[in-house]
């Protein structure tokens, strides 16, 4: 995939490491600053570093960085000490992941670094490696698009203390697959909308899927119409750049469980005839973050060789205001035959997703997970860094919250109260696609649930377990970089989906 910073693992002596920078972790214990153990440095070096940190007034707080040059007893020209923070809401592995990202971002322009942040065991070593590589991500550096000048290149390479031999090789491959996947999702989200639109998005995924040995199929507007995908057609008909549906199929031998993914892929959202204010359009290239996450996760699952069948539906359209743009009051027929009254053309994402969910249902998978930058209401409820998770199956929903949070995609469960469904009733169609303004994230999820079908027949029929990830907040960072998250696309949702697939395969 994309050219991400290479990360290796080592158990070599850090004092003699031939690198540009040595990265250590620190925290405050009993009111005093302390270096986290696991670095293997001798007492004189530790004392020298601690004295220098004390002189600087360092506290070891989250995101704090202290740079020390010419430390006696260390070959590296620079010692960087990053605050890991104390006990907090983030799991310990996530604190390390974020601290590594902060350090990597602070080492822009450097050639190499070795990380010893107090990690213990394989999981924490992987977290540090992942955080360092994701912290070194740069869209401009990889693609040369959007900025010229003398900007420094990101940190070129890193090694992480703690693993060796075959264990290190396996960990390196795992980190590479995950970082490549998250970086690919970030790349897609960051690509300007005049360059990334349904046709080019589909073409890029086709190219990468073929390299990964994943089967891929693309439906153009004519095929979408023939297949009855009225939601995708309706949203995309206002644009000169027609919609696409991309289906990815990963079918490894021996897989006995099937996971279906559905991603919202609005490559640019003007709001349609219910036009957004100009300032609200500036970041709307990110409205395909859900499709980006599903595509990247599927490719990562294939690269990791996880023994679970995955079918992903990328629902791609550009929501514009052309001559044929759909209007409030229109009624469209969705995949499967249900009719929907259009109320607000700026609530377009749920329409393309409905077709994807109906298609996923036809495959009778063991579970369906959809990912979408769906509602501003979810940002109001949970802020800009937390994924909202809803669904019809408590076990699946809660598993995604736990697995996602452990993997770095902080998530929280939201309910779907039964009183919401009647607000979608309309006399002119089976349902309308918006309801009352309050509880907007849950209203959108309730609409989506209508297109999730059942498994089995008659009295034996039961709803297919389904979960909805609203990534409207964390998919795009408009503010300053933090942790291992850059400004711009973040790759939210990718690691949640890979973690779920891993749980299905184990």
| 276 included as an active-site residue | yes
| Residue 132 phi, psi dihedral angles, 5° rounding | -65, -45
* Cross-strand partners of 53: none
- Which of 334, 421, 409, 423 lies closest to 369 in space, CA to CA? 409
Catalytic residue among 276, 385, 402, 502: 276
Q: Residue 261 and residue 295: Cα distance in Å, rounded?
A: 9
Contact by Cβ (8 Å): 349, 373: yes
Q: Residue 125 and residue 117: Cα distance in Å, rounded?
A: 9
| 385 included as an active-site residue | no
CA-CA-CA-CA dihedral for 370, 2, 477, 299, to nearest 10: 10
Q: Residue 254 and residue 261: Cα distance in Å, rounded?
A: 20
Contact by Cβ (8 Å): 338, 450: yes
- Which of 4, 48, 258 lies closest to 139 in space, CA to CA? 4
- Residue indicated by tokens 């034996």: 460
Angle at 359 between CA 354 and CA 363, to 5 degrees: 140
Catalytic residue among 110, 350, 432, 495: 350
Assign 461 to helix, strand or coil: coil
Angle at 328 between CA 324 and CA 332, to 5 degrees: 70
Angle at 180 between CA 179 and CA 184, to 5 degrees: 115
Q: Residue 308 and residue 300: Cα distance in Å, rounded?
A: 12
DSSP letters for 85-148: -SS-SS-HHHHHHHHHHHHHHHTTT-SEEEEESS--HHHHHHHHHHHHHHHT--HHHHH--S--
Contact by Cβ (8 Å): 86, 58: no
Distances (CA, A) of 155 to 40, 117, 137, 231, 298: 24, 17, 9, 44, 28
- Which of 351, 283, 358 lies closest to 317 in space, CA to CA? 351
Distances (CA, A) of 451 to 50, 155, 247: 59, 46, 18
The size of the chain, in residues, is 506
Q: Residue 161 and residue 128: Cα distance in Å, rounded?
A: 9
Please give the positions annotated as active site: 276, 350
């Amino acid at each position: 995939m994309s050219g991400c910073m290479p990360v290796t693992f080592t158990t070599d002596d850090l004092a003699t490491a031939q690198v540009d920078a040595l990265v250590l972790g620190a925290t405050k214990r009993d009111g005093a600053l302390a270096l986290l153990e696991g670095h293997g440095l001798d007492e004189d070096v530790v004392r020298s570093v601690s004295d220098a940190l004390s002189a600087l007034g360092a506290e070891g707080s989250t995101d704090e960085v202290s740079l020390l040059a010419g430390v006696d007893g260390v070959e590296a020209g620079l010692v960087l000490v990053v605050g890991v923070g104390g006990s907090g809401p983030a799991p310990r592995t996530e604190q390390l992941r974020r601290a590594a990202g902060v350090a990597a971002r602070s080492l822009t322009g450097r050639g190499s670094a070795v990380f010893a942040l107090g990690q213990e065991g394989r999981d924490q070593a992987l977290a540090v490696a992942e955080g360092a590589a994701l912290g070194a991500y740069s869209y401009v550096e990889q693609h040369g698009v959007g900025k010229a000048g003398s900007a420094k290149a990101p940190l070129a390479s890193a090694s992480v203390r703690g693993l060796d031999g075959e264990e290190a090789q396996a960990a390196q491959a795992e980190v590479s697959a995950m970082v490549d996947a998250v970086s690919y999702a970030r790349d897609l989200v960051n690509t300007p909308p005049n360059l990334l639109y349904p046709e080019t998005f589909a073409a890029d995924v086709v190219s990468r899927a073929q390299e990964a040995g994943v089967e891929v199929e693309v439906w153009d507007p004519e095929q979408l119409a023939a297949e009855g995908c009225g939601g995708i057609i309706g949203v995309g008909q206002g644009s000169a750049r027609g919609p696409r549906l991309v289906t990815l199929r990963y079918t490894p031998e021996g897989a006995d469980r099937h996971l279906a993914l559905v991603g919202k892929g609005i490559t640019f959202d003007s709001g349609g005839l219910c036009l957004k204010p100009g300032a609200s359009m500036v970041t709307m290239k990110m409205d395909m973050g859900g499709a980006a996450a599903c595509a990247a996760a599927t490719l990562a699952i294939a690269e990791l060789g996880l023994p679970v069948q995955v079918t992903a539906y990328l629902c791609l359209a550009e929501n514009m205001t052309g001559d044929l743009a759909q209007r409030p009051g229109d009624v469209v027929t969705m995949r499967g035959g249900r009719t929907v009254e259009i109320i607000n053309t700026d609530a377009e994402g749920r329409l393309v997703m409905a077709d994807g969910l109906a298609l996923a249902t036809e495959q009778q998978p063991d579970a369906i997970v959809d990912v979408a930058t769906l509602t501003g209401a979810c940002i109001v409820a949970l802020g800009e860094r937390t994924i909202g998770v809803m669904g019809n199956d408590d076990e699946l929903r809660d598993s995604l919250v736990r697995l996602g949070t452990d993997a770095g995609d902080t998530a929280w469960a939201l309910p779907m109260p039964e009183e919401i469904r009647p607000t979608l009733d309309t006399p002119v169609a089976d349902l309308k696609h918006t309801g009352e303004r309050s509880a907007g994230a849950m209203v959108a999820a309730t609409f989506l649930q209508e297109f999730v079908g059942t498994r089995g027949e008659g009295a034996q029929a039961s709803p297919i377990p389904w979960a909805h990830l609203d990534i409207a907040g964390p998919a795009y960072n408009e503010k300053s970089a933090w942790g291992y998250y850059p400004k711009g696309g973040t790759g939210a949702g990718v690691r949640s989906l890979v973690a779920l697939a891993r749980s299905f395969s184990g």
